[in-house]
């Protein structure tokens, strides 16, 4: 975290990441819980969060669902070999599809021809195959090849950890 964050905010932001690694506790006043641990008052804690969000260091504060548990057990990493010149125009269109959760441009590498990645999620294999077809239609002729890599197992999934310390908030 850098940019226009002040050094004192940066130090607090690092503590914030560690404290909220597993999320905030579900208590009536989460800011008071956080304020106590940051050794700030509640107003200063809220102001810190607002500054970090305005600055972009915090993308959002949200109720992040566990889609797997909600029945969205199928996810496909679709990868596309798209003409470089068309990619900056079409990438945002693919990213705007409601069934796409992540969409990135990544470099081609020797043995790897795909430069566009889009994650799709669904309740069954047919769902994600339909989503893939929709992306294929959207890209049209500027796409030379594509594949879908279906996940068969989650081997590790943890949030961002900067400190290596586990969060005291909520252990799973």
Give, as ranges, the residues between 46 and 85 that touch another protein (CB under 8 A): 46, 49-50, 52-53, 56-67, 69-72, 77
Query: Considering the complex, what minimum distance in angstroms separates the CB of residue 137 from another protein?
Result: 17
> Any contact of residue 105 with another protein (CB under 8 A)?
yes
Query: Considering the complex, what minimum distance in angstroms separates the CB of residue 25 from another protein?
Result: 9
Query: Quick count: other Cβ atoms within 10 Å of Cβ 37?
Result: 16
Q: Which residue of 11, 92, 125, 130 would you call a contact of another protein, by CB under 8 A?
A: 92
Residues 112-131 that bind another protein (CB under 8 A): 112, 117-118, 121-123, 127
> Any contact of residue 98 with another protein (CB under 8 A)?
yes
> Any contact of residue 41 with another protein (CB under 8 A)?
no
Query: Considering the complex, what minimum distance in angstroms separates the CB of residue 141 from another protein?
Result: 20
> Do 23 and 172 contact (CB within 8 A), yes or no?
no
> Any contact of residue 136 with another protein (CB under 8 A)?
no
Nearer to another protein, 63 or 137 (CB): 63
Query: Number of C-alpha atoms within 13 angstroms, CB side, residue 115?
Result: 17
CA–CA gap between residue 25 and residue 170 (Å, rounded): 7
Q: Long-range contact list for 160-164, CB < 8 A, 24+ apart?
A: 160/17, 160/21, 161/21, 162/14, 162/17, 162/18, 163/14, 163/17, 163/18
For the CA atoms of 136, 100, 107, 85, what is the dihedral angle to 10 degrees? 50
């Amino acid at each position: 975290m850098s940019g226009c964050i002040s050094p004192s905010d940066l130090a607090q932001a690092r503590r914030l990441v560690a404290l909220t690694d597993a999320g905030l506790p579900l208590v009536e006043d989460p800011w008071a819980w956080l304020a106590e641990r940051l050794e700030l008052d509640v107003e200063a804690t809220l102001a810190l969060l607002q500054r970090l969000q305005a600055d972009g260091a915090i993308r959002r504060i949200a109720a992040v669902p566990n889609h797997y548990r909600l029945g969205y057990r199928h996810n496909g990493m679709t990868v596309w070999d798209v003409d470089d010149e068309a990619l900056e125009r079409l990438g945002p269109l693919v990213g705007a599809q409601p069934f796409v959760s992540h969409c990135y441009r990544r470099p081609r590498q020797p043995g790897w021809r795909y430069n566009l990645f889009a994650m799709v999620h669904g309740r069954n294999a047919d769902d994600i195959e339909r989503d893939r077809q929709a992306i294929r239609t959207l890209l049209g002729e500027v796409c030379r090849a594509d594949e879908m890599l279906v996940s068969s197992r989650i081997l590790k999934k943890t949030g961002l950890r900067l400190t290596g310390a586990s969060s005291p908030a909520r252990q799973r």
